[in-house]
Amino acid sequence: MAGVVRRIFANLPRINTCNYVKTPLLSILPSVTSKFYSNVPTPYEIVDAQEDRKTYQGVIDNVNRQVAEKKQGRLFAVVHVAGKQVKITEGDVFIVEGYWPPDAGDKISLDKVLLVGASDFTLIGRPLVQRGLVRVEATVIEKNVSHTKTHFRKKRRKQYMRINFYRTPRTMVRVNRIEIVGEVNHPPAVTGLETRIF
Amino acid sequence: MVFTTAVNFVRSRGPDEFWRKRKVFKLAAAYIGRSRNCYSIAIRSVHRALVYATKGRKLKKEDFSNLWDTRITAGCEQHDINYHVFKESLARNNILLNRNTLATLACWEPFTFKALTDIAHKRASEDGITPPKENKVLYIPKRGSQSKN
């Protein structure tokens, strides 16, 4: 069954930018044939890094060039805020519902970026895009509460009736800027580890 | 006001009849016919409306949830991939976009959604992820098929 499906998928148009290994066991280590241990590389293990790099480097170079020349245009991003994902672009106002500590006037940077898109490319995070690559700046413009919602329950012929009113806090956030500051696939080196004990 | 008994106190409690009824009439202001002016009918329809409003807030969430599924399914069909295979492949790739976001992308960012389906296609073919089997009715009892013992 799996084989059939694989063949079906193989016929479909899709990107072919993978250098994953499908070499059989015997071709790698002919001397070792263990019944219990598999020497086959795990799926998605990159065996030839050079070859792998060749396949995607062109795309990444193009993206980096476009960003360097500032030709990427207006960006949109999917950010994770207060437990929800929001698709935002520059100048947007979005509402965070429920208790959320930032106060009005606070300038915040939204760091959990799941996806960034431009007209020519999309950077998809797994689950987040590389830290420090994208800067999303926002300002909290207003904090207030929603309209009054009535929670009313009633059972017929059972003398049961309850009424409650509630309002949920709401925070309005203006997105000031979304920009790519780093280089794709070139994360900054980790520094400051010399002084750390753990 | 002097109350000689507790019963009288209980009976006379609460706001004046006019104000008590006015609360209900304000909610019934836009109703049609007698349910707008006649208290005994107005209170019934106001109560029913409030119950609907309470239940509706939950239903709205369910409806939107279904709408997202519909939109993602439509987007997936456009790119020849099964919804479940798509979701499973994305999860295995550690792409944790939720259904709300995926539906938004399917609607408004077709190129981004295409990129996601491409990734899913690749992963599905690598891992051999198959669409789940449809529910089949295995046995339909017919009249007289069950033997009497």
Give the domain ranges of chain A.
Answer: 48-180
Residue, of B122 and A25, whose pLDDT is higher: B122
- Residues of chain B in contact with residue A87, where contact means CB-CB under 8 angstroms, are 101, 104-105, 108
Rounded Cα–Cα distance for residues A125 and A102 (Å): 26
Per-residue model confidence (pLDDT) at position A6: 45
Per-residue model confidence (pLDDT) at position B149: 58
Nearest C-alpha of chain A: how many angstroms from B128? Answer: 5
Nearest C-alpha of chain B: how many angstroms from A50? Answer: 21
What integer best gives the mean pLDDT of chain B?
Answer: 89
- DSSP string of A38-81, one letter each residue: --SPPTT-BS-HHHHHHHHHHHHHHHHHHHHTT-S-S-EEEEEE
Share of chain A above pLDDT 90, in %: 56
pLDDT confidence of B147, banded at 50, 70, 90? Answer: low
pLDDT at A137 over 70: yes
| Out of A9-23, B83-97, B127-141, least confident range | A9-23
* Chain-chain contact of A154 with B47 (C-beta, under 8 angstroms): yes
- Residues of chain A in contact with residue B50, where contact means CB-CB under 8 angstroms, are 150, 152, 154, 163
pLDDT tens, residue by residue, A147-162: 999 999 999 999 999 9
Report which of B91, B92, B113 is spatially closest to residue B101, judged by C-alpha positions. B113
Rounded Cα–Cα distance for residues A96 and A86 (Å): 10
* Chain-chain contact of A149 with B57 (C-beta, under 8 angstroms): yes
Report yes or no for ipTM above 0.85: no
Per-residue model confidence (pLDDT) at position A186: 81
Domains and CATH numbers, chain B: 61-127 (1.10.1900)
Average of per-residue pLDDT across B142-148: 71
* Chain-chain contact of A9 with B121 (C-beta, under 8 angstroms): yes
Q: Are strands A169-180 and A134-145 parallel, antiparallel or unpaired?
A: antiparallel
Per-residue model confidence (pLDDT) at position A10: 43
pLDDT at A30 over 60: no
Residue, of A18 and B143, whose pLDDT is higher: B143
* Chain-chain contact of A152 with B54 (C-beta, under 8 angstroms): yes
Long-range CB contacts (< 8 A, 24+ apart) of B45-51? Answer: B47/A152, B47/A154, B47/A161, B50/A150, B50/A152, B50/A154, B50/A163, B51/A152, B51/A153, B51/A154
Nearest CB to A87: which of B57, B95, B104? B104
* Cα A159-A160-A166 angle, rounded to 5 deg: 150
Lookup: tokens for A112: 């959990």
Lookup: tokens for A95: 């509402």
pLDDT confidence of B52, banded at 50, 70, 90? Answer: very high
Rounded Cα–Cα distance for residues A173 and B23 (Å): 36
pLDDT at B12 over 50: yes
* Chain-chain contact of A152 with B47 (C-beta, under 8 angstroms): yes
pLDDT tens, residue by residue, A52-85: 788 788 889 999 999 999 888 999 999 999 999 9
Best mutation target among A42, A85, A129, A164 (most B Cβ atoms within 10 Å) is: A85
Rounded Cα–Cα distance for residues B93 and A125 (Å): 10
